[in-house]
Amino acid sequence: MASSSVSAADMAAVKTSSNGMWQGDDPLHFAFPLLILQTLLILLLSRILAFLLRPLRQPKVIAEIVAGILLGPSALGRNKAYLRALFPPWSAPVLESVASLGLLFFLFLVGLELDLRSVRRSGRRAFAIAAAGISLPFVCGVGVSFVIRRAIPGADEAGYAPFLVFMGVALSITAFPVLARILAELKLLTTSIGETALAAAAFNDVAAWVLLALAVAISGSGDDRRSPVTSLWVLLSGAAFVAVWMLAVRPLMSWVARRSDAGGGGDAVWVAATLAGVLASGLATDMIGIHAIFGAFVFGLTVPKDGAFAGRVTERVEDLVSELLLPLYFASSGLKTDVATIRGGGALAMLALVIGTACAGKIVGTFAVAMACGMGAKEAIVLGVLMNTKGLVELIVLNIGRERKVLNEETFAILVLMALVTTFITTPMVMAIYKPARAAGRRRLHPRKLHGPTTSAPSSPSSSAAANAKELRVLACIHGGHDVPALINLIETIRGHTQPRRLVKLYILRMVELTERTSSILMARAARRNGLPFLRPSRRGGGDDDQIDVAFGTYAQLGHVQVRPMTAVSALHTMHEDVEAVAEDKRVSLIIVPFHKRQLAGHGDEIENLGPEWRAVNRRILREAPCSVAVLVDRGFGGGEQVSSEQVAHGVCVVFFGGPDDREALELAGRMAEHPGVQVTVVRFLDGKAGHEEHTEVTLRPSEAKNVEKSYTFATATVNGHREKELDEAAVVDFQQKMGAMVRFEERVAAGNVVEEVVAIGKSREYGLVVVGKGRLPSAMVAELAVRPAEHPELGPIGDALASAGHGVASSVLVVQQHDMNTDEVPVTVVQIDGHAHDGELGKDDNVAVP
């Protein structure tokens, strides 16, 4: 496929679809069935490779190019029978045509992503860095081209001018889309270094397109017979095209966007007109003699970035393009790459020379100018490494060069490998060199619990007490609009007093997974500032975000609550870092996170599972949070609808066994009981075996044999058991004195199966919400449950029993974990020690304490 040419007669003989195998046709001899099979192979292999490369945080383009290389003549294609059957020469134009259509629309999305106004506002520093980052590598590329023409057989068949320009462009390009995704993955997108890199890459991208247009204009079909006048006409026509599109089409697209944003049922018409504009622009530049993708990119620049229209167009196009069509283009580049052509020490030396020159030119040029602009040495080096990212535009340049016969097979293979290597090393090098200052400086300076300080550095104890009485700061994390009603009802329940109203400052953090979609990158740029989520203004246009804003805006006005919305767009394995950063920055006392399973409204007992990735996010938040955390298992709390303060009417049951987490749950119950519409019941379980001759002391010991994912974990801290019991008694007495008749208090002696008794409370339908502590420093009753099979170990034994679907619990559940700065958690085994329980320190050395 890589080296064979296909005549018009061969293509004319190819039929689109077969009559089927039962009528004697081989589907692989027909264009459409073969295209389907090729697409399936490419998608399957690229997804497998992307999964394997995910721990290295590599962009998806790497996996797609490598998939093409493995399927092509470099690996599997060495078997000629395989290559003739699955990738015959006549199938190449079909595959490349479909891939080129995807490329056309992707370049439109790239233009849509690139805001020329932000490029102009970027300032002289970004312009200077971009100029140095493209000029020095370009000069180096021109220098290397002279060596390659002499060293590689057949490289000198192309004309000097196009060959020099293509080599210069290939080494000097920075891939703006790939760089944006790497910066977003590393949470550097809106830091100072990320903004500088992105602005410089945007300048670089514009310059690269100009140089590419120049290279295409002078290359012709790869020989020197094209008249200079013809090249001049191509350049002038390209310049005229850009001018007309910016002066005439741009205002037209602004009008289209305004009409679409104004509403009505004709939105699909405007989106269809925009997509037709992409095709027409590509056709225009192809007729000029530049390339169809150049027109699509320029048309993307004409679409206004303000308003919701650009987002709607992106949503309609990007999934089909980025997930189906674009991988075909990258894979087709790999299919044309025959690594076997790089033979011998001389060819390998050329490969090393090209990679070394590309890296040195880009990094040295960027480093020197960045230092001259006042950046630190480490930041300047990181900036140089980031600017060395290759990818999409690089492959476009190489493919056009190969089509125009400017680059032969060996030169093409060397340059594709150079693009792979330089992009592959970017993320590991940046992670090794650069650690943002905020990550080192932000860590749990003060323990924050519900009954602890809510403000840092108070001027006096009295001022701290006053602050506690006045304001409760809560960070509520949500996945989408479905979490809003239960969360608002929970906040209204927690805040307590309605007359006079307690001040509650509520921070809403919508957690959105970062993907390689263009809309995800745009959202990440809009939702972050200085590398962190920030308070976002109200948005225009429809969508889930706006419904969330309206719901919380209404609650803020009617409930006199300060609500501050934010959005965290992160990869799921680093989402907890954003949650921790916001909690630390806003000095919140409580983080509320939704359970990864939820009951679907109107679907009976049907449960929606968000998956193990979101469950892992919750586990990391519980482990790393700088304040207390509560996990809400929602089963339609408050009736599944948002209600006002006057309409709140439900029962809350707090189950108390003892320990720090249960005391925190009791503190929360004290706030809830102050609300006139909430009836709080506290059920305290007492150990029926305590004091009896047959009582057995329970000791928990760490167990390396148990799986953390499937076993309950308990705190490793050494505690004074007698002191813990005193704290439990003091908390209960203080709670009873403060609450009095406002709360129904009940003590039960647990003589039988304590899990069944707790589950019976949840089944009773008497309570809309059951509040329990996680039990990391458990009482003896809870410690005995450590050997139970765990379905959701992150909730603790009691919370897990209430959250498990098999028990038929109707109430929503809130599992509370008190903040502790110095406690790790490990799976345990239960050891029964005959004799009476004794006071003093329990669980020394290798034991886990049981009060």
- Using one digit for the tens of pLDDT, what is the confidence trace for 745-788? 998 887 677 888 888 888 888 888 999 999 888 777 887 787 78
DSSP string of 652-683, one letter each residue: EEEEE--SHHHHHHHHHHHHHHTSTTEEEEEE
Q: At residue 502, does pLDDT exceed 80?
A: no
Q: At residue 812, does pLDDT exceed 60?
A: yes
Average pLDDT over residues 814-840: 63
pLDDT at 350: 92
Average pLDDT over residues 493-511: 77
pLDDT at 266: 60
Sign of the CA dihedral running 398, 403, 404, 405: positive
More confident residue, 192 or 752: 192
CB distance 353 to 385 below 8 Å: no
CB distance 508 to 562 below 8 Å: no
CB distance 59 to 423 below 8 Å: yes
Average pLDDT over residues 248-275: 85
pLDDT at 446: 39
Q: Where are the alpha helices (DSSP H) in 425-495?
A: 426-433, 437-441, 461-470, 484-495
Residue 434, amino acid = Y
pLDDT at 542: 46
Band (pLDDT 50/70/90 cuts) for residue 468 is very low
Q: Which of 586, 432, 449 is nearest to 509 (CA)?
A: 586
Residue 350, amino acid = M
Q: At residue 465, does pLDDT exceed 50?
A: no
Residues contacting residue 291 through CB under 8 Å, at least 6 positions apart: 212, 216, 285, 400
- For the ranges 56-60, 84-88, 280-284, the lowest mean pLDDT is seen at 56-60
Q: At residue 338, does pLDDT exceed 90?
A: no
pLDDT at 537: 52
Residues contacting residue 764 through CB under 8 Å, at least 6 positions apart: none
Per-residue burial over 77-92, b if 16 or more Cβ lie within 10 Å, else e, is: beeeeebeebbbbbbb
CA 597 from chain centre, in angstroms, equals 20
Q: Please tell me whether the peptide bond between 626 and the residue prior to it is cis, using omega within 30 degrees of 0.
A: no
Task: State how far the Cα of 140 lies from the Cα of 665, in Å rounded to an integer.
Answer: 66
Task: State how far the Cα of 774 lies from the Cα of 664, in Å rounded to an integer.
Answer: 10
Task: State how far the Cα of 135 lies from the Cα of 361, in Å rounded to an integer.
Answer: 9
Q: At residue 610, does pLDDT exceed 90?
A: no
Q: At residue 698, does pLDDT exceed 90?
A: no
> Strand pairing of 597-599 and 607-609?
antiparallel
Decide: residue 210, CB within 10 A, 0-12 exposed, 13-18 middle, 19+ buried.
middle
Band (pLDDT 50/70/90 cuts) for residue 597 is confident
pLDDT at 845: 43
Task: State how far the Cα of 137 lies from the Cα of 369, in Å rounded to an integer.
Answer: 14
Q: Which two tokens stand for residue 702?
A: 């760490």
How many residues would you count in the chain? 851
Place of tokens 């058991």: 721
CB distance 198 to 383 below 8 Å: no
CB distance 662 to 686 below 8 Å: no
Residues contacting residue 343 through CB under 8 Å, at least 6 positions apart: none
Task: State how far the Cα of 509 lies from the Cα of 406, in Å rounded to an integer.
Answer: 52
Q: Which two tokens stand for residue 494?
A: 């927690």
Q: Which two tokens stand for residue 67?
A: 């998939």
Average pLDDT over residues 228-250: 88
CB distance 216 to 404 below 8 Å: yes
pLDDT at 538: 46
Q: At residue 638, does pLDDT exceed 80?
A: no
pLDDT at 205: 76
Q: Which two tokens stand for residue 247?
A: 């002066």
pLDDT at 2: 44
- For the ranges 94-98, 107-111, 201-205, the lowest mean pLDDT is seen at 201-205
Band (pLDDT 50/70/90 cuts) for residue 690 is low
pLDDT at 719: 65
Band (pLDDT 50/70/90 cuts) for residue 665 is very high
Maximum C-alpha span of the chain: 107
Number of separate helices (H) and strands (E) present in the chain: 33, 19
Percent of residues in the chain assigned helix, strand, coil, to nearest 5 = 60, 15, 30
pLDDT at 700: 64
CB distance 579 to 475 below 8 Å: yes
Task: State how far the Cα of 732 lies from the Cα of 259, in Å rounded to an integer.
Answer: 63
Q: At residue 92, does pLDDT exceed 50?
A: yes
Q: At residue 6, does pLDDT exceed 50?
A: yes
Phi, psi of 771 (to 5 degrees): -110, 125
Q: At residue 295, does pLDDT exceed 70?
A: yes
* DSSP SS3 for 426: helix
Q: At residue 225, does pLDDT exceed 60?
A: no
Average pLDDT, the chain: 80
Band (pLDDT 50/70/90 cuts) for residue 452 is very low
239 vs 210, 236, 242, 288, CA distance in Å?
Answer: 9, 5, 5, 11
pLDDT at 475: 94
- For the ranges 68-77, 200-209, 441-450, 782-791, the lowest mean pLDDT is seen at 441-450
Place of tokens 């949500």: 478
Percent above pLDDT 70 for the chain? 80
Max avg pLDDT among 47-61, 121-135, 651-665: 651-665
Q: Which two tokens stand for residue 238?
A: 């390209």
Band (pLDDT 50/70/90 cuts) for residue 619 is very high
More confident residue, 480 or 531: 480
Band (pLDDT 50/70/90 cuts) for residue 231 is confident
More confident residue, 639 or 321: 321
Q: At residue 601, does pLDDT exceed 70?
A: no
More confident residue, 815 or 345: 815
Place of tokens 């395989």: 82
pLDDT at 438: 46
Residues contacting residue 98 through CB under 8 Å, at least 6 positions apart: 35, 325, 328
- For the ranges 347-351, 410-414, 734-738, 778-782, the lowest mean pLDDT is seen at 778-782
Band (pLDDT 50/70/90 cuts) for residue 477 is very high
Q: At residue 806, does pLDDT exceed 70?
A: no
Q: Which of 171, 157, 165, 225 is nearest to 409 (CA)?
A: 157
Percent above pLDDT 90 for the chain? 21
CA 563 from chain centre, in angstroms, equals 25
Residue 745, amino acid = F
Band (pLDDT 50/70/90 cuts) for residue 547 is confident
Band (pLDDT 50/70/90 cuts) for residue 595 is very high
Q: At residue 223, does pLDDT exceed 70?
A: no
CA 595 from chain centre, in angstroms, equals 19
CB distance 94 to 31 below 8 Å: yes
Instruction: Compute, in degrees rounded to 10, the torsion defined by CA atoms 174, 178, 184, 186.
Output: -80
Per-residue burial over 338-357, b if 16 or more Cβ lie within 10 Å, else e, is: bbebbeeeebeebbebbbeb
Residues contacting residue 800 through CB under 8 Å, at least 6 positions apart: 712, 790, 791, 792, 793
